Structure 1
Amino acid sequence: MSRDPRAAATAMPYWWEAAPPHAMPTTPLPKKVDVAIVGAGFAGLSAALVLTRAGRSVAVFDAMRPGEGASSRNGGITSGNIRPGFAEIERRFGQGAALAIEAEGKVAREFLWDLIRTEGLECDFKLTGNFKGALGYDQYDTMARASETLSKRLGIETYAVPHSEQHSHIGTDFYRGGTVRMDVGGLHPAKFHAELLRITRDTGASVHGQTPVTGIVPEGPHCRVETASGTVQARQVLVCTNGYTDKAMPDLQRRMIPVRSRIIATEELPHEVMDRLMPRRMMMGENRQMGFYYRPSPDGRRILLGGRDGSRQGDPLEPTLRLRNGLAELFPELAQVKLSHSWFGNVAMNRDMIPRLFEKDGIHYATGFCGSGVVWAPWVGSRAAHRLLGADAGRSAFAARPPAAVPLYKGDPWFLPAMLGYFTAQDKLAMRRARR
């Protein structure tokens, strides 16, 4: 493929064309609030919505424009994936723990659908189903067994798709079959955030964009929240910063590794091409460690494909070319297609690769969504709010100890290129074995 630097027309997220993040009106900071929330993404706003409707006074702070981070940069796939797959979680923790996590994922997806429906959030949500491709027949057998377990034990509508029937779901010969989950869909993430911001502000929460929190200092039964615009006294503090955690929260920063996730969008494709490549307009994924996730745009006229970006600074061409080559590997007829967008955002990984809800030194945290925050961020944020209220609804399989700190890490992920390179090498080896 060409290494033309014009491979992508713009670095602006495709989603921002319809719903760009906006600066918030400048308003004075409250002197005291019941709850201060750090981070105005999906998690922080979902928590604020619960708390204000319960009668709490809430101030939400974000270092950027609200939603400017991962909430408006992601793929908009409502997967609720857990990075260790079902088989791996079962191996590490037992079938009971694996089923508990999957069961909570089922509830979390339903919570998101209900939130969108009952609040009337206009965000192009469609429950399309999700196809996950198998790289080899052995992997297909493992995935098919896990699908059968989820169907029988949890009542999730999921089924295996053998290689012979693959083209009815996706127009590629790259996979050796796959599985489908019908409880997964897609939405427009920037529109979803804008709507969530609207209803949260309507409940009375004050949201302060471009107001970074510089420190949180416990003072007896309260905390002093120091920001670039002044100080607020809060009875409780909830941190929801995830992939944009900075040195203002040094203890959390040592536990959350920011990893770039990049997405490309094709130019508009002919209707017959979309019918051939994505006949059911499903969300798509695969089982490689450095694999791709992809989907049709909400209007069904483009393909958006994303994956991990091993770069650490600037906006280099190489990650865009990697995704473009991946698109051509899946769909050879798109080898020369033009791209309209290529952008990135940070996701937060931790050593367990599982979302986390915990309290440490009097501060509460809802974080660690590991690239699946469209489902997990609203869910875990709302569970955190219920925990602050002392309600039973705060119970969660993710309420546990903090994730372990990363040795020798203090906010600069210098090791990422080597680590992602190692995963890429593992994927190549696995692919060779799978195709024997």
Structure 2
Amino acid sequence: MLLSYWHATLNQPPLTGIDLPPTAGIVVVGAGVVGAATALWLARAGLKPLIIDRYGPAAGASGNNGGILAAGLAENYLAATARYGAATARDLYALSLAGQRLMVELIQQEQIECDLRLHGNLNFAIGEAQLTLAGATVAALQADGFPAQLLDRDAAQELVSIPLGAAVSGARFNPAAGTVHSGRLVYGLIAAAQRYGAQCSWGVTLQRIVVTNNSLRLETDRRSIEVAAAIVAVNAWSGEVLPELAQQIQMVRGQMLCTAPVAPFIACGFDASLTSTGEYGQQVPTSQVLFGGCRAIAPNNDVGVPAGEVSPEVQGALETGLGRLFPTLAGITIERRWSGAMAFTSDYLPIVYHPYSGLFAVGGFSGHGMPFAAIIGRYLAEAVQTGIFPNALTPLRIDRPTLQT
């Protein structure tokens, strides 16, 4: 499997693990950013959760993404308003904004060294039609009280010290955004949870959940474990253990590349719609540029393709796209290429599922889990203690009208 920039530069000792016990109080299945944040909230509450994962920290989407921590939804705000309705779209955007700020608080409170930089995010407009859409989006966000700014080409260029491509007509700037080292973020969240009493068991694959007489048994490739409660946060692999999610959450391969170091030219994260599936990236503190997306170039948009390898057509489109945004980077040496398994739903919102007493599951973040991780994790930690589905997560229920198989 190709190693992402985040895993290649983690530079941290392995997190301690224990043998899988026969019983546990609360188990968090999945050590991505959502599972890690959920475990931290549980541990802070004194509940000493057990984290299990088939590989290790950030092995899925969390350790193979663009490292962008930006408030917002996977869909454009206008599209989200049309799909979910104005009130629900506003509530969801507010949830993501609160989640982005809460993750920043967790990083600062737990002193997690993850290269957090709060410089906002630039969504480049390609052509006049996209700039018009950006203007309408900014107006709608501002009308609902959310931070957003519209920049013309000259204003966008002021934030970038190398020439922008000729097709860039301006940008929508999101001040409620930052960039992080994704691997160190997840590592730091789990390490903080361990300081509060959480434990981890690595190399454990959950195979089946058995519910009998209001008790839960997790059957794994190691042994069965009786638990009082469990939170399943395995995202793209949700359908493997909860068949009712198999038709709702679809694995999608996302591909990225990492260039050779180049003189610093942009402090904030950035994204653009060079293709219909979108592109994104950042320049990391070590001066390489990370750039991902271009799934639209792949057959069937890389839907249902397991992660691990990359394809020449998508990687070629990424190199071309990077040169379209920043012409001086055309032909730059590529140091690393990788892919990760994202999880999409039909309406681009995650699912929070509560099928049985003591059991919750979450997945399907559609490439936008970073701003939701801290706040959904907190609500799940509270819900597993109370047994009550949180009102704030009602728009994410599996029986919502916008979700289709």
Q: TM-score, normalised by structure 2?
A: 0.88
- State how far apart, in whole Å, the 2-side matches of 1:202 and 1:38 are: 19
From the superposition, tell whether residues 374 and 250 of structure 1 become closer, same or farther in structure 2 (CA, over 3 Å).
same
Q: Match of 1:348? A: 343
Q: 1:51 aligned to 2:51?
A: no
Q: 1:381 aligned to 2:381?
A: no
8 Å contact from structure 1 (residues 284, 295) kept in 2: yes
2:218 to 225, 231, 245: 225
Shift in Å, 1:22: 7.0
Shift in Å, 1:246: 5.4
Give the SS at the match of 2:339.
strand
- State how far apart, in whole Å, the 2-side matches of 1:26 and 1:186 are: 29
Shift in Å, 1:53: 2.5
8 Å contact from structure 1 (residues 59, 208) kept in 2: yes
**Deviation per CA, 1:169-206, whole angstroms, max 9, x where unpaired?**
34312222121011101000011111111111222222
- State how far apart, in whole Å, the 2-side matches of 1:402 and 1:80 are: 25
Shift in Å, 1:26: 5.3
**Deviation per CA, 1:317-350, whole angstroms, max 9, x where unpaired?**
3322121121122222222211001111011001
8 Å contact from structure 1 (residues 354, 368) kept in 2: yes
* 1:294-373 → structure 2 map (5 Å cutoff): 294-299=281-286, 301-309=287-295, 310=298, 311=302, 312=305, 314-362=309-357, 363-373=359-369
Amino acid paired to 2:151: V
8 Å contact from structure 2 (residues 17, 199) kept in 1: no
- State how far apart, in whole Å, the 1-side matches of 2:16 and 2:109 are: 28
8 Å contact from structure 2 (residues 40, 190) kept in 1: no
2:171 to 178, 183, 190: 178
- State how far apart, in whole Å, the 1-side matches of 2:15 and 2:399 are: 32
From the superposition, tell whether residues 81 and 262 of structure 1 become closer, same or farther in structure 2 (CA, over 3 Å).
farther
8 Å contact from structure 2 (residues 319, 331) kept in 1: no
2:22 to 25, 31, 37: 31
8 Å contact from structure 1 (residues 23, 65) kept in 2: no
Give the SS at the match of 2:108.
helix
8 Å contact from structure 1 (residues 242, 367) kept in 2: yes
Q: Match of 1:252? A: 245
- State how far apart, in whole Å, the 1-side matches of 2:392 and 2:12 are: 31
Shift in Å, 1:159: 0.9
- Alignment length, in residue pairs? 389
Shift in Å, 1:214: 1.1
The gaps in structure 1 that reach 5 residues or longer are: 1-9, 408-436
8 Å contact from structure 1 (residues 239, 365) kept in 2: yes
Superposition RMSD on alpha carbons, in Å?
2.4
Q: 1:401 aligned to 2:387?
A: no
Give the SS at the match of 2:70.
coil
From the superposition, tell whether residues 26 and 86 of structure 1 become closer, same or farther in structure 2 (CA, over 3 Å).
closer
Which has the larger displacement, 337-346 or 71-80?
Answer: 71-80
Q: Identity over the aligned pairs, expressed in percent? A: 22
Q: Match of 1:284? A: 270
Amino acid paired to 2:398: R
- State how far apart, in whole Å, the 1-side matches of 2:388 and 2:134 are: 34
Give the SS at the match of 2:337.
strand
